[in-house]
């Protein structure tokens, strides 16, 4: 799964989704931190590009719950993560595992990780991971 955020997805849908979530994040000091609304918009657009791609091209559906991502084609919740380099993936997985262990979060048992180039806006699916009750394990195809 490879795509370009400028040419392969609906940019207006991307802005609509990411700006709405950015506003929610900015509204609370606990989630905002010391970031500006523009900083948050840039970060949410970077991550939401992969969600929009999955919705537009792979029959995924939006998960309307706050801070949740998408449902796959068979209705299972999916967390979508985007990171800049493959070397960061272990840290992304580590955070996902910590969140999955917090039962109150209702963290999805499926995680898609994309590598997103911030300059070219090219995104590549790095891997699909499944929760085994203790760790996220990369799907082998």
- Look at residue 141 in the predicted model and tell me its pLDDT: 76
Give percent of the chain above pLDDT 70: 100
Look at the pTM and tell me if it is higher than 0.85. yes
Residues 41-91: tens digit of each pLDDT? 999 999 999 999 999 999 999 999 888 999 999 999 999 999 999 999 999
Q: Give residues with Cβ within 8 angstroms of 40, minimum separation 6.
A: 22, 25, 26, 32
Identify the pLDDT of residue 28: 92
Q: What is the pLDDT of residues 5-46, one digit of tens each?
A: 999 999 999 999 999 999 999 999 999 999 999 999 999 999
Compute how many other C-beta atoms are within 10 angstroms of the C-beta atom of residue 120: 10
Q: How many CB atoms lie within 10 A of CB 71?
A: 20
């Amino acid at each position: 799964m490879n795509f370009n955020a400028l040419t392969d997805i609906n940019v207006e849908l991307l802005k609509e989704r990411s700006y709405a979530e950015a506003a929610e994040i900015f509204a609370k000091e606990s989630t905002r931190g010391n970031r500006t609304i523009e900083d948050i918009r840039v970060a949410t657009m970077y991550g939401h590009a992969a969600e929009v791609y999955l919705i537009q091209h792979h029959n995924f559906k939006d998960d309307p719950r706050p801070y949740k991502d998408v449902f796959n084609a068979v209705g299972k919740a999916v967390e979508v993560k985007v990171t800049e380099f493959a070397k960061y993936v272990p840290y992304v997985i580590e955070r996902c595992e910590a969140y999955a262990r917090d039962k109150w979060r209702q963290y999805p048992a499926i995680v898609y990780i994309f590598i997103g180039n911030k300059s070219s806006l090219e995104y590549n699916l790095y891997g699909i991971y499944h929760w085994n009750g203790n760790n996220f394990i990369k799907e082998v195809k």
